[in-house]
Amino acid sequence: MFAKFLSLDKEKQDRIINAAMKEFAQKGYDKASTNEMVKEAGISKGLLFHYFQNKKQLYFFLYDHMTQLLVEQIEEKVDKEERDLFIRVRQMALVKLEIFQMYPELFNFAKSIFMETSAEVIHEVGQRGKELLESYFKDFKGDIDFSKFKKGIDVHKAFNIIAWTLEGFGFQQQKKVQSLSIENLDIEEALKEMDEYLDMLRNAFYE
d(CA 88, CA 92): 6
At 206, give phi and psi (nearest 5°).
-90, 155
Per-residue pLDDT of the chain (207 residues; tens, 9 = 90+): 788 898 999 999 999 999 999 999 999 999 999 999 999 999 999 999 999 999 999 999 999 888 888 888 888 888 888 889 898 888 888 888 888 778 888 878 888 887 888 999 988 887 776 666 655 555 555 678 888 999 999 988 998 899 889 888 877 777 766 665 555 567 788 888 999 999 999 999 998
Triad 185, 68, 23: Cα angle to 5°: 60
Q: What is the per-residue pLDDT for 134?
A: 59
Q: What is the per-residue pLDDT for 183?
A: 54
Cβ–Cβ under 8 Å, residues 173 and 185: yes
d(CA 102, CA 100): 5
DSSP state of 192: H
Q: What is the per-residue pLDDT for 184?
A: 57
Burial 85-95 (b: 16+ CB within 10 A, else e): bbebbbbbbbb
Q: What is the per-residue pLDDT for 195?
A: 92
Q: CATH second-level architecture of 3-205?
A: Orthogonal Bundle (1.10)
Comparing CA positions, the residue from 69, 61, 132 lying closest to residue 100 is: 69
* 153 three-class SS: coil
Cβ–Cβ under 8 Å, residues 57 and 121: no
